Amino acid sequence: MTLLARVEAQLFAPSSARALGGFRFLSVGGLFLLYALYAPLSGHPDVADRRAWADLPAILYEPLWAFRWLGVGVPSSSWVAPLWWVWLLSLFTGAVGLWTRLSLVTAAAAGFVLVQLPHNFGQVTHTDAHVVLLLAVLACARCGDGLSVDAALRARKGAPEPAPSGDYTWPVWGARLVLVCVLFLAGLAKLRHAGLSHLTTDMTQRLLVNTLRYFPGVMTGPGAFIASSDGWSRLVMGGVIVVELVYPLALVSRRARPFVALSGVVMLVLIDRFFALRFAQLILAHVAWLPFVERSKGDEGEQPPAARS
């Protein structure tokens, strides 16, 4: 079997519509809860209610390529506020699977504008761009065929449950691919800009001390302890680099997958808690690795060409 055939067999192996519906419910529902409920309490402006980013001083606005290309002027509450409510509503209806396609297309389009809004003011931070890519993948998929209000309404009219299909598998792999891009590139960036200096010099400790002095009080006890020790700083950074660089293994090795995904979650949770970098969206995206969102046991149905041959 060629490499391409192997990849196709993985991407398009038949899964049930319910499995993809479960993934849609967890990931989009999680985003709804995060932005509607958690964000206002978090006190961090990057995950806060996007209406706070309207009517800010024009001199501080520095639009990124998309806003320049779309001709988006200084964000004004006249459109940010309605778009915010449309986004939350589309996340909710997308999660429960009501008008699923329309909801997810709306969520992806509105998210493209709202998620990047803060990044048009001076600095691009790296915690939430994957949200838009994930929503775009789901918007292109048949996410509403199972475990959704749409599916329940169709069932009431007597429509049979859709047969397992590759249509319900590739979107989960798309979400996994997005996560791999994020974490693997983070590992590559460290090697690209500093080689092995994180581990062979006191660079990591200096980076942490720099953060501690710049944002006094934001690191919790363990974060401050690690920053105060050169050895611990190197050890922790070594662990981070290893997790980031081996992360793609989760795509190709079924055995390694649970360990790699779990270490990714643990790493992000610890960085979020100890070093005050807000990774709630990335942690949430790890629902893509839950085994039941890929296929359901006993799924039968159309086979991918590679499997047929």
Partner 1 sequence: MTKARRAAAWAVLGSVVLGHAVCFALDEEAWPFLLYPMFSRPPRAGEGSGVFVQGQDAEGRPFLFKAPHSWPLFRSRLAARLATLAKSPDAEARLDEAFVELAALYERNRSRHAGPRLTQLRIVSCRWSTAPEALHEPWPDACRVLREYAVPAVAP
Span 183-212, contacts to partner 1 by CB under 8 A? 183, 185-186, 188-190, 192-194, 197, 202-207, 209-210, 212
Cα end-to-end span (Å), the chain? 9
Q: What mask, x for binding partner 1 by CB under 8 A, covers residues 255 to 284? A: ----------------------x-------
Alpha-carbon distance of 119 to 205, in angstroms, equals 28
Q: What's the closest the beta carbon of residue 156 comes to partner 1, in angstroms?
A: 26
Q: What's the closest the beta carbon of residue 298 comes to partner 1, in angstroms?
A: 19
- Under rule CB under 8 A, residue 232 binds partner 1: no
User: Which CB atom, from 96 or from 240, has the smaller least distance to partner 1?
Assistant: 240
Among the listed ranges 16-24, 149-157, 172-180, 245-253, the one in contact with partner 1 (CB under 8 A) is 172-180
Q: What's the closest the beta carbon of residue 258 comes to partner 1, in angstroms?
A: 23
Instruction: Pick from 145, 150, 167, 294 the residue near partner 1 by CB under 8 A.
Output: 167
Structure-token match 């038949």, residue found: 14
Among the listed ranges 20-28, 51-59, 96-104, 262-270, the one in contact with partner 1 (CB under 8 A) is 51-59
- Under rule CB under 8 A, residue 48 binds partner 1: yes
Q: Are 96 and 112 in contact (CB under 8 A)?
A: no
**Residues within window 284-303 making contact with partner 1, judged by CB under 8 A:** 302
**Residues within window 94-153 making contact with partner 1, judged by CB under 8 A:** 112, 115-116, 118-119, 121-126, 129-130, 132-133, 136-137, 140-141
Task: Count Cβ atoms below 10 Å from residue 284 Cβ, excluding itself.
Answer: 21
Instruction: Pick from 5, 56, 276, 307 the residue near partner 1 by CB under 8 A.
Output: 56
Structure tokens at 160: 């049979």
**Residues within window 1-30 making contact with partner 1, judged by CB under 8 A:** 11-12
Q: Are 175 and 134 in contact (CB under 8 A)?
A: yes
Among the listed ranges 32-40, 90-98, 161-169, 249-257, the one in contact with partner 1 (CB under 8 A) is 161-169
- Under rule CB under 8 A, residue 161 binds partner 1: no
CB neighbour list of residue 145: distance below 8 Å, 6 or more residues apart = 17, 20, 21, 151, 162, 167, 168
Distances (CA, A) of 257 to 186, 199, 240, 247: 19, 26, 17, 9
Closest listed residue to residue 121, CA positions, set 64, 54, 60, 177? 60
Q: How many residues bind partner 1 (CB under 8 A)?
A: 73
Instruction: Pick from 3, 57, 78, 297 the residue near partner 1 by CB under 8 A.
Output: 57
Distances (CA, A) of 185 to 126, 152, 172, 303: 11, 41, 20, 34
- Under rule CB under 8 A, residue 66 binds partner 1: yes
For 226-250, b/e burial (b = at least 16 CB within 10 A) is: bbeeeebbbebbeebbebbbbbbeb
